[in-house]
Every structure is written in structure tokens, then in C-alpha cells.
């Protein structure tokens, strides 16, 4: 298991005591010596690093199957999770605590209010669900936001075979104008025949399309006029 943001190691110790082999990542150089003193006697490996900048392939090279746990701050949660899905295939499962709004975006399905670019990206690589809600009252000091636990399980292969660069170009363009119908937001990228070939209504809006529909649309565009 790998833990991001281990702090003084309270969760790290609990993980190690289950018999798991644990790698703990911590950015705060003032906490790292205390963390090492607390957890290294139990065989935990400690890495002092910024998780956003860490070379994950090198850090996790000693095994090809990892589970990640983390309590992530709002400003790094989404980009970090998406980067790990892109670049760290050895991480098969994640259980993360994040601010409720961020967690709901990661786990949202087509048609949900929270559905957006991160939702499509997660669905391309994995399945995700909110598995727990954490009220603000359990924290000291009490924050102004609620948190959720999100479980993300990597698929054996991406949800669709479409060329990912094209697929996410379409997704980013459409969600950049999410109030517009696709025939307007994707004008110049997708023509009416390609909408028809993909089985996608040009009058739909981006939040109406699940990852399978985005894949069909990318395939139709790849096939040309």
C-alpha cells in the first residue's frame, strides 16, 4: 500500500499493523523525521516528496500491484488523481478522502449535476463511487466543508478503444461550453454525419454523454468524413 500525506503516521501505523507492506509519502520536511521515527520500526518505507512531482514509476517499481490511500486537500485532489490514473498503472485501487464537491465530481455519472471533465477521465480508466461521507464535526478545528470517501478501481483496460488524445480534446472543448448543444460547441470538429455514425444527438449537451458515447464520437471523427 502507498499512503500520500502520512503526517505523523497515525493511519500509516494502522495500515502497517494489518501486515501490509506500506510506503508513506510526505512533503513536509519538518514532519518527515518524526514520521520516520514512528513508522520505520514497523518496516514502513518513507519517501520525502511532493506527490504531484514524484516519479511514481520509480517510487513503486518494486511491485506491480498497489493500493493507494490518502486524505487529499481540495487544490491537489483532482489533478493528482487524474495524473495517477494516466501515469501510474501499478496503482490498481484508491481510497481517498476529499472535499465533498471534488469527490462527487470524480464519481459522477452522465446526467449528474457534478458530471464534468474529471468524471469522464476517471470513467475512462476506472470505476468510482462515493463509499462514505465524513461530516465536518469529526475534525478539530471544524472545517466549513464536508468530506467524502471515494473508491476508485482501475479497469483492466480503458473503457473505450478510442484514441485518447482526440477523445479528451472533444471532451474538453464541449465542456468548455457546457451550456451549448454539441453541434455548436463542437462545430468544426464534428459534423452531422459523424454525430449520426456515433449515435449521438447533435442537440445533446456534454453532460448527457457517458464515456462510451464520447468514445463512439471520437471513433466517428477518426474515421473521417
Closest to 169 measured CA to CA, from 225, 207, 217, 223: 217
Closest to 3 measured CA to CA, from 46, 52, 57: 46
Range 2-154: architecture per CATH:
3-Layer(aba) Sandwich (3.40)
In the chain, which residue ranges form alpha helices assigned H by DSSP? Answer: 10-17, 32-39, 56-59, 74-87, 100-107, 117-125, 164-175, 182-185, 192-198, 211-222
Q: Do residues 96 and 126 make contact, with C-beta atoms less than 8 angstroms apart?
A: no
Q: Which three cell numbers stand for residue 190?
A: 464534428
Compute CA 158 distance to the chain's CA centroid, rounded to the nearest angstrom: 14
How do the domains of the chain map onto residue ranges? 2-154, 164-222
Q: 187, exposed or middle or buried, with CB in 10 Å at 0-12, 13-18, 19+?
A: middle
Please give the DSSP secondary-structure letter assigned to residue 30: T
pLDDT digits (tens, 9 = 90+) for 161-179: 999 999 999 999 999 998 9
Closest to 133 measured CA to CA, from 147, 115, 122: 147
Rounded Cα distance between 175 and 26, Å, is 34
Strands 91-99 vs 147-154: parallel, antiparallel or unpaired: antiparallel
pLDDT of the chain along its 225 residues, tens only?
999 999 999 999 999 999 999 999 999 999 999 999 999 999 999 999 999 999 999 999 989 999 999 999 888 999 999 999 999 999 999 999 999 999 999 999 999 999 999 999 999 999 999 999 998 888 878 888 899 999 999 999 999 999 999 999 999 999 999 899 999 999 999 999 999 999 999 999 999 999 999 999 999 999 987
What's the longest Cα–Cα distance across the chain?
A: 64
**Fold held by 164-222:** Helicase, Ruva Protein; domain 3 (1.10.8)
Q: Are 2-154 and 164-222 equal in CATH topology?
A: no
Residues paired with residue 67 on neighbouring β-strands, in sequence order: 93
Closest to 96 measured CA to CA, from 28, 36, 148: 148
Please give the DSSP secondary-structure letter assigned to residue 156: S
Rama region for 7: left / alpha / beta (φ>0; ψ in -120 to 50; rest): left
**Residue 136 pLDDT:** 86
Closest to 208 measured CA to CA, from 110, 118, 115: 110
Amino acid at each position: 500500500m502507498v499512503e500520500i500525506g502520512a503526517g505523523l503516521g497515525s493511519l500509516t501505523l494502522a495500515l502497517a499493523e494489518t501486515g501490509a507492506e506500506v510506503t508513506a509519502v510526505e512533503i513536509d520536511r519538518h514532519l518527515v523525521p518524526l514520521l520516520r521515527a514512528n513508522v520505520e520500526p514497523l518496516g514502513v518505507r518513507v519517501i520525502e516528496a511532493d506527490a504531484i512531482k514524484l516519479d511514481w514509476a520509480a517510487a513503486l517499481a518494486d511491485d506491480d500491484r498497489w493500493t493507494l490511500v490518502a486524505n487529499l486537500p481540495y487544490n491537489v485532489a483532482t489533478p493528482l488523481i487524474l495524473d495517477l490514473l494516466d501515469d501510474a498503472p501499478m496503482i490498481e485501487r484508491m481510497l481517498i478522502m476529499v472535499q465533498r464537491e471534488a469527490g462527487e465530481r470524480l464519481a459522477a455519472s452522465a446526467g449528474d449535476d457534478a458530471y464534468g471533465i474529471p468524471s469522464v477521465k476517471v470513467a475512462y480508466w476506472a470505476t468510482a463511487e462515493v463509499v462514505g461521507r465524513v461530516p465536518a464535526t469529526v475534525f478539530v478545528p471544524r472545517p466549513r466543508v464536508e468530506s467524502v470517501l471515494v473508491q476508485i478501481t482501475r479497469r483492466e483496460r480503458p473503457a473505450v478503444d478510442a484514441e485518447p488524445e482526440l477523445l479528451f480534446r472533444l471532451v474538453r472543448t464541449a465542456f468548455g461550453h457546457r451550456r451549448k448543444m454539441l453541434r455548436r460547441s463542437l462545430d468544426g470538429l464534428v459534423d452531422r454525419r459523424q454525430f449520426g455514425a456515433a449515435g449521438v444527438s447533435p442537440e445533446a449537451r456534454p453532460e448527457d454523454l457517458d464515456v462510451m458515447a464520447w468514445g463512439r464520437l471520437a471513433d466517428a471523427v477518426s474515421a473521417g468524413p
